A and B are shown apart, each in its own frame.
Chain A
């Protein structure tokens, strides 16, 4: 099978496309074939995949259930014509088709916006989606020419590298110190504020503005990221510090192209699930491999900006993880608390750390509370409590209910003989506990 005339599209670990800067997803349909109209040695038909339309590209991703996921993209900049659908008796019975004409390079036949020859590609829609609506969005995106605005901007800020022709996506960089960033940010907020006010005038306008705003955030992020490299000498520590802080802050703000019900339709939860799996990686790493579902809900929605999801959507997205190959999972504790954890996360390791904790002399004497354990394990107190309860149910710990709440002690009951309650073995935890208590008197 040869697909070399289409550029490959990069995918994330869980099978979501990697978007280029400023790119926003606008529609998604399933059960799509892509095939050339005439026989072409460079393009054999691609069968039943997902087609994602963005402001910049058409991305085709092979069916996720197959072993190796492959993905290809047609840059909209290479499209020169979109045929209107044929109205014929024959067309009524066949699967709906969308035909587009794309430029190809005369030398090797690759899809190329600078090509002088062209070929016609057919998109066959076998799924139950509405091809008319998709065609409408496609034409809209194509006429929107989002890739050109980017180019103009980049050429105005720096000299564009003419050599990189594919989509003009070189990151731009002309930032003058933190003050510059802050001023620019201020200006952007003002214009964002304006656009917000405009947007609220009518819902359709809001949807358009939302895309603009996401792009705005993404652009700001790009500028910040490229800042340090061009900064050169003369940066003092304070500047670096505040820049770092701002970067962290900005990074936590942006998912550039959130999966929405509007864009993904029936595949909404599945795509959301994949995006979520990509997203939780960093927060999970920071939290030590396990994080409360509620925390993720807040962080995820904050990152999505205007396209908020409901708790039900989040729960559904998490439960889909079981069916697809992602490195994270949803876990429900006996108490009903739900968390997201890495699949590689092991309870044994946590139990071992809890055991070390409760065997320290202080803990032997006065026990540990959930917040003590949270500090030692570096996790949230609510989670620490779940771990302590798990350890208790395994017989490692037992509890004492004091005015300050629960305190957990290492379980000594197993070591004491009911036949001789005064007997203390010289070795073992019971002995260690007695000496710890005596030492405190």
Chain B
């Protein structure tokens, strides 16, 4: 079976029509669905949070297929990502639709795992910085390690609105402090 790094690719990845946006509605719906699953699976295993439309993305081209269709064109990329966005599994980061935030966990799920992480490590009523959550010793081995900053901030904001923590400006300009109050 073909792989991309340690990611197992499905057989249909070598099916040339998979890389051409299908014009017939029923066929296209099915194609879009398969692309959504593949993008989410790949991003989850590879911990990818952002896909830029104009940049190389391993999943969007297949060197085995010789045609130009061996890589997705811009229209097709946009169509598949938009399908994810409309399901709430992705968000455009700019109005220009050039970069897309992939939410293989929804924001709510991320918030839940933050709460779980805090409880597991007995960090209730303590103060941490955002960077410490992303790359600190405590988060090593958890999903939160290396999380995209934008997604983390969104999840933290969600928890703040629920009164479970307070975000405040820290001493350094580019880092914020968090006071948990679970």
Interface residues of A (CB under 8 A from B): 367, 392-393, 395, 398-403, 407, 409, 411-414, 416, 418, 421-422, 424, 430, 433-434, 437
Any chain A CB within 8 A of the CB of B16?
yes
Q: State whether B67 touches A398 (Cβ < 8 A).
A: no
Q: Quick one: which of A411, A413, A434 contacts B34, CB cutoff 8 A?
A: A413
* 23 A–B contacts, CB within 8 A, in A order: A367-B16, A392-B27, A395-B24, A395-B26, A395-B27, A398-B17, A398-B20, A398-B22, A399-B17, A399-B23, A400-B20, A401-B20, A402-B67, A402-B69, A403-B68, A411-B17, A412-B15, A414-B30, A418-B30, A418-B36, A421-B41, A422-B8, A433-B15
Interface residues of B (CB under 8 A from A): 8, 10-12, 14-17, 19-20, 22-24, 26-27, 30-31, 33-34, 36-38, 41, 66-69
Q: Which single residue of chain A is at the shortest CB-CB distance from B67?
A: A402
Q: State whether B19 touches A400 (Cβ < 8 A).
A: yes
Query: Using Cβ atoms and an 8 Å threshold, which residues of chain A touch B34?
Result: 413, 416, 418, 421
Query: Using Cβ atoms and an 8 Å threshold, which residues of chain B touch A400?
Result: 16-17, 19-20, 67, 69
Q: State whether A393 touches B24 (Cβ < 8 A).
A: yes
Query: Using Cβ atoms and an 8 Å threshold, which residues of chain A touch B12?
Result: 412, 416, 421, 430
Bound-complex Cα distance A179 to B31 (A): 67
> Beyond the given A392-B27, A398-B17, could you list 17 further A-B residue pairs with CB under 8 A, ordered by the A residue number?
A367-B16, A398-B22, A399-B17, A402-B66, A402-B69, A409-B16, A413-B22, A416-B10, A418-B30, A418-B36, A418-B37, A421-B10, A421-B12, A421-B37, A424-B11, A430-B11, A437-B11
Bound-complex Cα distance A430 to B15 (A): 10
Query: Using Cβ atoms and an 8 Å threshold, which residues of chain B touch A422?
Result: 8, 10
Q: State whether A401 touches B67 (Cβ < 8 A).
A: yes
Q: Quick one: which of A401, A402, A409, A418 contacts B15, CB cutoff 8 A?
A: A409
Q: State the 10 A-B residue pairs at the shortest beta-carbon distance, nearest first.
A: A402-B67, A400-B16, A413-B30, A398-B17, A418-B33, A421-B10, A400-B17, A400-B20, A400-B69, A401-B20
Query: Using Cβ atoms and an 8 Å threshold, which residues of chain B touch A398?
Result: 17, 20, 22, 24, 27, 31
Q: Which single residue of chain B is at the shortest CB-CB distance from A400?
A: B16
Q: Which single residue of chain B is at the shortest CB-CB distance from A367?
A: B16
Bound-complex Cα distance A413 to B18 (A): 8
Query: Using Cβ atoms and an 8 Å threshold, which residues of chain B touch A395?
Result: 24, 26-27
Residue among B11, B20, B22, B41 with the highest chain A CB neighbour number at 10 A: B11
- Would you give the shortest CB distance from A27 to chain B, in whole angstroms? 54
Bound-complex Cα distance A265 to B74 (A): 59
- Would you give the shortest CB distance from A93 to chain B, in whole angstroms? 67
Query: Using Cβ atoms and an 8 Å threshold, which residues of chain B touch A399?
Result: 17, 20, 22-23
- Would you give the shortest CB distance from B155 to chain A, in whole angstroms? 27
Q: State whether B8 touches A407 (Cβ < 8 A).
A: no
Query: Using Cβ atoms and an 8 Å threshold, which residues of chain A touch B16?
Result: 367, 400, 402, 407, 409
- Would you give the shortest CB distance from A395 to chain B, in whole angstroms? 6
Q: State whether B31 touches A413 (Cβ < 8 A).
A: yes
Bound-complex Cα distance A36 to B11 (A): 85
Q: Which single residue of chain B is at the shortest CB-CB distance from A364?
A: B15
Q: Which single residue of chain B is at the shortest CB-CB distance from A402?
A: B67
Query: Using Cβ atoms and an 8 Å threshold, which residues of chain A touch B67?
Result: 400-403, 407
Bound-complex Cα distance A398 to B21 (A): 10
Query: Using Cβ atoms and an 8 Å threshold, which residues of chain B touch A424?
Result: 11
Bound-complex Cα distance A398 to B15 (A): 11
Q: Which single residue of chain A is at the shortest CB-CB distance from B17?
A: A398
Q: Which single residue of chain A is at the shortest CB-CB distance from B22?
A: A398
Bound-complex Cα distance A403 to B30 (A): 25
Bound-complex Cα distance A117 to B31 (A): 86
- Would you give the shortest CB distance from B87 to chain A, in whole angstroms? 12
Q: Which single residue of chain B is at the shortest CB-CB distance from A403?
A: B68
Bound-complex Cα distance A305 to B66 (A): 51
